[in-house]
């Protein structure tokens, strides 16, 4: 049984939010009909999903001052004292959600409060653009917040709903992100099609096989048009991690072997890898700076055959350069995608230190992830009972679809399908807005 209809409110009091792992966007109903994206920051319709908590917040304030989006990243890069948080969406469904994390200045916040704080800022900016309060919201969600764990997946959605309610939304609905992308494509569709939507962002790779067409446009309930959905919790941030492990962290000793010791039977063991995996994972980077862990790693100097590797590792920990290295890996991934090669300057770590990355090495680093994503695309079509030849169109959206190797690998499995690239950072938000309009757009103050 569908939920009871809420009381009518002005149409402009609804919005749609694409809360992404890497970037977020907000859509509002447009005065001339349809929906439009809010210029969230610097006149742009997307804002990095990032928050920087200032350590110099006055002591009497219970909540630390915060910067958001590009301003947050700039404050971190410029060396201001504080804590940068990114990829908050990946925390949903994790045990970390109710744990507290140091945000500088002697303050700590629960991770769920970090998520709520960012949503509150999105709501504030949306209301500023709308010129009135926003009571209702459609939030995008991946097909799976958590792979192969329905209970944790349900908890993740509940946590995001709770955060939205906590920041003042009176009603919260969800729509799958790849479905939203299909709705955006449908605005230009001139005939009925079976569309395989590939929404590959920072945290998840989601696929949906959707029936679209002019006759279906504007329907509020599209459940019958969704033939299958599937996804994996692998995407851009995973690519960044593999790039960092492949191209940058070997300069800090990753996968190097310990010096031989008397009585060793066989080749020396590798140095412990846990520290490197944590350095390459955004939401775990701050854990490597704990004094006890730094002291332990300092005492492991004899485990490194080359003193320079250990020295670089310790400089990274002592100067808190982990996020800078992760950002360098992300830039290298983008450079390879756009130019075919990347020169990675690591002067912060050591003068004139650099690494390089080319397409072949990048592809090898993410090969296992690419294969799982391609398999997820085919599994989606299989679940719908449709042959690959029955797919009319491949619709790509999400920041990670800027990687040619990824798009080509998926497209190779559907050679008869037309290929179309949507707005990488805007298709989902626009589609969510169209869904919100189908739900609430006809309502007025008079009901």
Tell me the per-residue pLDDT of 217-269, one tens digit each, with 9 for 90 and over.
877 777 788 899 898 989 999 999 999 999 999 999 999 999 988 777 778 88
195-212: per-residue pLDDT in tens? 999 999 888 899 999 999
Domain boundary among the residues 341, 357, 373 is at 357
Q: What is the reported pLDDT for 12?
A: 52
For residues 96 and 246, give the distance between their C-alpha atoms in angstroms, rounded to a whole number: 27
Same domain, 45 and 152: yes
Which residues constitute the domain of residue 162?
11-189+424-440
68-118: per-residue pLDDT in tens? 999 998 888 787 888 888 888 888 988 888 899 888 888 889 999 999 999
For residues 107 and 118, give the distance between their C-alpha atoms in angstroms, rounded to a whole number: 17
Same domain, 183 and 275: no
Q: What is the reported pLDDT for 3?
A: 44
Same domain, 115 and 263: no
Identity of the highest mean pLDDT range in 103-117, 145-159, 380-394? 380-394
Judge contact between 273 and 400, C-beta under 8 A.
Answer: no
What average pLDDT score do residues 155-181 get? 94
Judge contact between 174 and 201, C-beta under 8 A.
Answer: no
pLDDT at residue 9 tops 50? no
Does residue 109 belong to any structural domain of this protein?
A: yes
Same domain, 31 and 143: yes
Q: What is the CA radius of gyration of the chain?
A: 23
Domain boundary among the residues 357, 377, 408 is at 357
Same domain, 21 and 115: yes
User: Comparing 58-62, 66-70, 305-309, 392-396, which segment has the lowest mean pLDDT?
Assistant: 58-62
The number of beta carbons lying within 10 Å of the beta carbon of residue 301 is 12
Same domain, 33 and 95: yes
Does residue 296 belong to any structural domain of this protein?
A: yes
Same domain, 179 and 111: yes
The number of beta carbons lying within 10 Å of the beta carbon of residue 434 is 25
pLDDT at residue 366 tops 70? yes
For residue 412, give the nearest of 235, 258, 243, 198 by alpha carbon.
198
312-334: per-residue pLDDT in tens? 999 999 999 998 999 899 999 98
Question: Alpha helices of 167-255 — where are they, by DSSP H?
Answer: 177-186, 236-243
Does residue 206 belong to any structural domain of this protein?
A: no
Sequence-distant (6+) residues with CB within 8 A of 45 are 25, 37, 38, 39, 425, 426, 429
How far is CA 2 from each of CA 6, 112, 158, 373, 383, rounded to the nearest angstrom?
A: 12, 29, 18, 34, 26
Does residue 39 belong to any structural domain of this protein?
A: yes
For residues 163 and 348, give the distance between their C-alpha atoms in angstroms, rounded to a whole number: 37
Same domain, 244 and 180: no
Q: How many structural domains compose the chain? A: 2
% the chain with pLDDT above 90:
62
Confidence of residue 146 (pLDDT cuts 50, 70, 90): confident
Domain boundary among the residues 309, 330, 357 is at 357
Judge contact between 89 and 21, C-beta under 8 A.
Answer: yes
SS3 content of the chain, % helix, strand, coil (to 5): 45, 20, 35
Q: What is the reported pLDDT for 399?
A: 85
Same domain, 167 and 298: no
Confidence of residue 215 (pLDDT cuts 50, 70, 90): confident
Confidence of residue 442 (pLDDT cuts 50, 70, 90): low
393-397 and 193-200 as β-strands: parallel, antiparallel, unpaired?
Answer: parallel
Same domain, 112 and 21: yes
CATH code, 135:
3.30.420.40
Confidence of residue 10 (pLDDT cuts 50, 70, 90): very low
For residues 38 and 89, give the distance between their C-alpha atoms in angstroms, rounded to a whole number: 21
Same domain, 312 and 252: yes
* Average pLDDT of every residue of the chain: 90
Does residue 47 belong to any structural domain of this protein?
A: yes
C-alpha dihedral, 363 to 369 to 371 to 373, nearest 10°: -120
- Predicted TM-score of the model (pTM): 0.78
Does residue 334 belong to any structural domain of this protein?
A: yes
pLDDT at residue 7 tops 60? no
What are residue 361's phi and psi, to 5 degrees?
Answer: -70, -40
205-212 and 226-232 as β-strands: parallel, antiparallel, unpaired?
Answer: antiparallel
Does residue 200 belong to any structural domain of this protein?
A: no
Same domain, 49 and 145: yes
Q: What is the reported pLDDT for 33?
A: 76
Does residue 392 belong to any structural domain of this protein?
A: no
């Amino acid at each position: 049984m569908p939920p009871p209809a809420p009381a009518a409110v002005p149409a402009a009091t609804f919005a749609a939010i694409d809360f992404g792992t890497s970037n977020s966007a907000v859509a509002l109903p447009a005065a001339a009909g349809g929906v439009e994206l809010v210029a969230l920051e610097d006149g742009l319709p997307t804002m990095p999903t990032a928050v920087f908590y200032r350590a110099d917040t006055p002591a009497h304030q219970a909540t630390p001052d915060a910067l958001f989006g590009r301003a947050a990243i700039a404050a971190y890069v410029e060396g201001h004292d504080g804590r940068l948080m990114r990829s908050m969406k990946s925390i949903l469904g994790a045990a970390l959600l109710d744990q507290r994390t140091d945000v500088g200045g002697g303050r700590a916040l629960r991770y769920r409060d970090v998520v709520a704080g960012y949503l509150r800022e999105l709501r504030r900016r949306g209301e500023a653009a709308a010129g009135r309060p926003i009571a209702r919201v459609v939030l995008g969600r991946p097909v799976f917040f958590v792979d192969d764990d329905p209970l944790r997946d349900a908890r993740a959605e509940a946590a995001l709903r709770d955060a939205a309610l906590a920041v003042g939304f009176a009603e919260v609905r969800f729509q799958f992100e790849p479905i939203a992308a299909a709705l955006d494509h449908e605005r230009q569709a001139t005939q009925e099609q079976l569309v395989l939507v590939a929404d590959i962002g920072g945290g998840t790779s989601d696929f949906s096989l959707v029936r679209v067409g002019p006759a279906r446009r504007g329907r509020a309930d599209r459940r019958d048009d969704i033939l299958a959905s599937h996804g994996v919790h692998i995407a851009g941030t995973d690519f960044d991690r593999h790039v960092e492990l492949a191209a940058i962290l070997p300069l800090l000793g990753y996968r190097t072997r310990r010096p031989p010791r008397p009585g060793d039977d066989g080749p020396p063991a590798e140095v412990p890898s846990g520290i490197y995996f944590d350095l390459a994972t955004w939401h775990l980077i701050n854990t490597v700076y704990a004094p006890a862990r730094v002291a332990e790693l300092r005492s492991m100097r004899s485990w490194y055959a080359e003193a320079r590797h250990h020295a670089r590792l310790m400089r990274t920990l002592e100067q808190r350069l982990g996020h800078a290295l992760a950002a360098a890996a992300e830039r290298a991934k983008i450079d390879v995608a756009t130019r075919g090669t990347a020169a990675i300057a690591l002067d912060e770590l050591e003068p004139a230190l650099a690494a390089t990355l080319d397409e072949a090495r990048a592809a090898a680093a993410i090969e296992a992830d690419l294969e799982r994503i391609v398999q997820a695309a085919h599994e989606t079509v299989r679940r719908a009972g449709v042959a690959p030849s029955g797919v009319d169109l491949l619709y790509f959206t999400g920041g990670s679809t800027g990687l040619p190797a990824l798009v080509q690998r998926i497209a190779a499995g559907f050679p008869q399908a037309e290929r179309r690239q949507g707005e990488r950072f805007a298709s989902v938000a626009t589609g969510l807005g169209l869904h919100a309009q189908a739900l609430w757009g006809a309502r007025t103050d008079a009901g």
